[in-house]
A and B are shown apart, each in its own frame.
Chain A
Amino acid sequence: MSAGPNATEPNPHDHIPAAASNFLTRYVFSTDHKVIGVQFLFSSLFFFAVGGLMAMVIRWQLAWPWKPVPILSQWLWSSPGLGGQMPPEFYNKLFTMHATIMIFFVIIPLLTGAFGNFLIPLMIGARDMAFPKLNMFSYWIMWPGFVLITLSFFVEGGAAEAGWTSYPPLATAARSTPGSLNGQTYWLLALLCAGISSLTGSINYITTIVMLRSPGMKMFRMPMTVWALFITALLQAFALPVLTSALLMQTLDRLAGTNFFTPVGGAVANAPAAVGGGAPLLWQHLFWFYSHPAVYIMILPGMGIASDVISTFSRKPLFGYKPMVIAMGAIAGLGFIVWGHHMFQSGMNPALGATFMLSTMMIALPSAIKVFNWIGTMWGGRIQYTSAMLNAMAFVSMFIIGGLSGIFMAATPVDIHIHDTYFIVGHIHYVLFGGSTFAVFAGIYYWFPKLFGRMMSERLGLIHFFLTFLFFNGTFFFMHIVGWHGHMRRIADPTVYEFLRTPGVVGMNQFMTICAFGLGASQLIFAWNFFYSLVAGPVAGPNPWKANSLEWATASPPPYYNFETLPRVYHPPYEFSVPGGEDDFLPQTTPLPDNITLDPVMA
């Protein structure tokens, strides 16, 4: 790559667009990817609080079944005649909506909506997304979803209670459970909106990354975060149509009398038998064909964020940049042929289960490779313990647990015992909280200065991390143990069972609940730090962390056009501590010293 003198010459096709003219088009119905990213950030953080509060109530019921929840029980659900006890159907609504909100309205919009929107154009050196109006649409289509999911609590029968997986016939037969009367329809439509949002977003991300990279930004010079978001967008683009069709089919089953998922003569709760002819398992196949990749949609961006943060704060090049990219590609590819591992005990042909076991075991491999590479990145570095770095290291540490526990469920015979128990609940929380959420925290601490031009308090960040990390493990680790002891998931009262009312199990349940309250309370520190720093944090310069990627080459917050002139890129963003350099970082816009040549396989 020659870096001649004409490299900095302005591109004749590049021009700075006109600024949005009024408040409404600038901050509300904005087509600016940064504003849209911030909008996604705020609405997801709001729903994060809502979903988190639901989890607190769930934990209360598990630790002290049927004991009235202080304050809440009076005005949330209970008729006085029940003495403040939570009705079991309300418990089912809680875990259904907790998962739905956290997955579809928090983690996915946070990672792809907030970080994806904000970072992709900045990190590849573009002025905006390829389709700014479509981008605006991808945010505002979330709102009917927000409204529907909130409204569903107030319709007859209340919110959906068939679990976030919504297996028919429980989800389709109106009389099967109160939440299936109306709430389920709202749930389906809300998810449809979230799905359309993700789909339009992913089209935008793919196009932007393929078409709008700044001069010199080859694919293998993109930051891992962009790679991760690119691969995530591909996953979404190919998996979401299947979920969308499945959601529509279930909607039709509920509203138009079709029978995609109803067996011949199916009848629930003495309702007249349906004509039927469909298959309940069909839904599971369609749902998991999307929702397994969705797990990777929720973890890949976190992997990208962790890679960038760890390299920056180790002041050291990423270990095995290209193998890391290839590993992510492998995860995405394999991610499409493992969905059956959710259906080992479903009645699906067990021979098929054996095949899915093999593919599922293999998908652990690229994840393992990534873990080794992260540790390799830190090895020999100069590790700076910032809040962002600690959260990124927690991502690695906790993702190891989440990854290893997955192997138990991939093994079909062992899965017979632990399927649908708290073992899987522990596993998914080690992946989605221990993994994704710590990555989200890392990302927020890391990019907050770029987002808002101000620094967050490091001291509060460290306290928040310390408490979150401890309480997180206290909350979720014992789920593995009660899970292999046989504790089923989604049960409102474990003490119905003799083997679950022993002192050991009850004790673990109460310990987990107390830690969960601590975990919830610790987030107040984060909220305070976030909002206080937003208005009163110290002003951040353009590059407070001395990082290399392009977003740090422009002002904080960046102007609406991002870059004065489109930057020229000379190397991948991980050239830290280059020997002979004056600084310990080398921005992508600065050429490598002549004596350095990058390893073509690794870097």
Chain B
Amino acid sequence: MRYWSLIFALAAVFSVGAFAYAPFSADWWLPNPAGEPYHSVSTFGREIDALFLIILVLTGAVFIGTQAALVWAQFRYADRIGEDGLPVRPAQYFHGSQRLEVIWTVIPAGILVFLALYQMDTWAKIKFRSASPRTPVLAEVTGRQFQWAMKYPGPDGRLGTPDDLFTVNDLHLVKDQTALIHLKSADVIHSFFLPQMRIKQDAVPGMAIPVWFDCDRAGRFELACAELCGWGHYKMRGDVVVHETEAEFQAWQAAKLAEQGRSQIAGADEPEGDDR
């Protein structure tokens, strides 16, 4: 009978083991660039990861403690029937302990309040509009079934002018520069998700939401849609390209603009189409 406690112990060991192994495998750990599985590429990512680790350690400790107590109680206090068919040991008769109730109310309450307050600063830095950077906007990103339409201000740095650059599913930014985007939706709700940069923000029709982030590694990353937006939701994927230097970004933009100019040669001064 008492060996039933082992299956609970097994589940706990399995859980702890899986979590303990996770950091040692790039596929199991937080999404980071290949070759650098422990390097979170964005400033916010590093802060979020640190908070994540604190919670992981705290909850892990509570988990191990409670599961150990549970398994121990299951093992130690299993009923045993003696030769005479009677229980070997009677159950203790008590209804609780006021002191214990106070202890296990006050201590977790303190930890939880600490945890909540400890998050506030990072949260405010990432999301509060008052914290948004005073830099020119990198692009206006509009979610649309099932693509990410990007509008860059172009060389003049202003959106809504004829030199705007349009791309689809292709977000470019510069290493170590805070990228500020305006997030919109043209139809249903989407969610702008950069797993490697730990950024997520829903794109809501009728709203323009500022989102900012940076990246300290040049290279290619992925943009995902994280909010169900229809039958093609699963494939609403975009590329994120982080350029080593501003010059490289400008070169890319110039090349793209030239391409766009060639294809739109006739309609260069047409009024803006979509600017709800």
Fill in one digit per residue for A11-52: 1 if any B CB lies within 8 Å of its CB, else 0: 000000000000000000000000000000000000000000
Instruction: Indicate whether B188 reaches chain A with its CB closer than 8 angstroms.
Output: yes
Asked if B15 is at the interface of the complex by the 8 Å CB criterion, the answer is yes
Stretch binding the partner chain, chosen from B67-75, B149-157, B253-261:
B67-75
CB of A141 within 8 Å of the partner chain = no
Q: Does A81 sit at the interface, judged by CB under 8 A?
A: no
Q: B90's closest neighbor in chain A, by CB?
A: A577
Taking the closest CB of chain B, its distance from the CB of A543, in whole angstroms, is 18
User: Roughly how many angstroms separate A574 CA and B94 CA in the complex, as a whole number?
Assistant: 10
Which residues, 523 to 542 on A, are CB-close (under 8 Å) to B?
A: none
Residues of A444-489 contacting chain B, CB below 8 A: 466, 469-470, 473, 477-478, 480-481, 484-486, 488
Q: Which residues of B contact A407 (CB under 8 A)?
A: 55, 59, 112, 115
Q: Report whether A368 and B108 are in contact in the complex, using a CB–CB cutoff of 8 Å.
A: yes
Q: Let me know if B250 is at the binding interface, CB within 8 A.
A: no
Asked if B87 lies at the interface with its beta carbon under 8 angstroms from chain A, I say: yes
- Return the contact of B101 from the options A320, A365, A490, A497 (Cβ within 8 A): A320
Does A491 count as interface, using CB distance less than 8 angstroms?
Answer: yes
- Interface window among B121-129, B158-166, B265-273: B121-129
Min CB distance B211 to A, Å, is: 10
Which one, B47, B67, B70, B191, contacts A345 given CB within 8 A? B191
Cβ of B234 to closest chain A Cβ, rounded Å: 4
Scan B164-190; emit 1 where CB is below 8 A from any A CB, else 0: 000000000000000000000011110
Which residues of the other chain, B, contact A410 by a CB distance below 8 angstroms? 116
Task: Check B235–A496 contact: CB distance below 8 A.
Answer: yes
Would A414 and B55 be within 8 Å (CB), given that A420-B200, A473-B15, A496-B237 are in contact?
yes
In the complex, A353 has a CB within 8 A of chain B: yes
Interface 1/0 per residue, B13-40 and A, CB below 8 Å: 0110011001001111111000000000
Contacts of A602 in B (CB 8 A): 95-98, 101
Q: Is the CB of A416 within 8 A of B128?
A: no
A404 lies within 8 A of chain B by Cβ: yes
Tell me, yes or no, whether A396 is within 8 Å of chain B by CB.
yes
Q: Is the pair A504, B26 in contact by a Cβ cutoff of 8 Å?
A: yes
- Cβ–Cβ < 8 Å partners of A353 in chain B: 123, 127
Q: Which of A269, A316, A504 meets B25, CB within 8 Å?
A: A504
A492 within 8 A of B: yes
* Residues in B whose Cβ lies below 8 Å from that of A491: 233-234
Question: Contact: A497 with B95, CB < 8 Å?
Answer: no
Once the chains bind, are B94 and A380 in contact (CB under 8 Å)? yes
B200 touching A490, Cβ below 8 Å: no
Find out whether the CB atom of A376 lies under 8 angstroms from the CB atom of B11: no
Taking CB atoms, residues of chain A closer than 8 Å to B11 are: 397, 469-470, 473
Contacts A266-B206, A390-B4, A498-B222 known; list 16 others, CB within 8 Å. A177-B230, A266-B205, A269-B187, A314-B91, A316-B93, A347-B209, A353-B123, A354-B123, A381-B73, A405-B59, A408-B55, A416-B198, A419-B226, A502-B26, A504-B25, A584-B91
The 5 residue pairs across chains A and B that have the minimum distance between CB atoms: A504-B27, A263-B206, A486-B195, A602-B96, A380-B92
